[in-house]
Chains A and B, each alone.
Chain A
Amino acid sequence: AQSVTQLDSHVSVSEGTPVLLRCNYSSSYSPSLFWYVQHPNKGLQLLLKYTSAATLVKGINGFEAEFKKSETSFHLTKPSAHMSDAAEYFCVVSETGGFKTIFGAGTRLFVKA
């Protein structure tokens, strides 16, 4: 069975400081892992994906995530937060090649000026 846990329901940072959004997963199979971002009243946008290639994955808007199998983690980071990064972020796990996805509950990111 697969599951995903986002360890923080909300994170608050100041503009220009680093962002860390934490995600742990559980999977019986070799997983694919994803991060999505959702701005208010909008659909989700794919930020980045891990599918068993390089463990450090670079995405859009300066975000990146590192797959750590030993820790079953896939944390999302960004060196310097921007006001436009304020949104909700979802970590997602699925069996590689499978269509069925498990979403985390989401982490709301607040960015202070």
Chain B
Amino acid sequence: NAGVTQTPKFQVLKTGQSMTLQCAQDMNHNSMYWYRQDPGMGLRLIYYSASEGTTDKGEVPNGYNVSRLNKREFSLRLESAAPSQTSVYFCASSDYITQPQHFGDGTRLSIL
């Protein structure tokens, strides 16, 4: 089925560990996004990639890095995980609009 695929779906880390969240879309979309969702706060944009080869900071980029590996894939890396990064992370993509159209089902990340 066409869509946005995120891996893993669940992960538990210890403080200080590193991890990369993977995202891939098969709709040939130009733009991709990473959000985090925390209770009562809606979604907050971490980073986005307007097109292959470009990335830009969103609202809450500190503690994260991203890589737009190719048109399909956009990964999010936590270099040294902190408990404040416990959240649900969503990847999204869009084609000709500058807002996310399709979302993955999320990665639930807990940092102890």
Contact = CB atoms under 8 A, between A and B. Distances in A.
Interface string B96-112: 01111111111000000
A94 B99 contact: yes
Contacts of A43: 4, 90, 92, 102-106
Interface residues of A, number: 23
A99 B43 contact: no
Nearest to B108: A41
Contact of B97 (A49, A92, A105): A49
Given A43-B106, A44-B90, A103 B99 contact: no
B13 interface: no
Given A32-B99, A41-B105, A49-B99, A90 B42 contact: yes
A100 B45 CA distance: 7
B103 A101 contact: no
Contacts of B31: 99
Given A43-B104, A99-B56, 5 more contacts: A43-B102, A43-B103, A44-B100, A99-B45, A105-B41
Interface of B: 4, 31, 33, 40-45, 48, 50, 56, 58-59, 90, 92, 97-106
Interface of A: 9, 32, 34, 41-46, 49, 90, 92, 94, 97-106
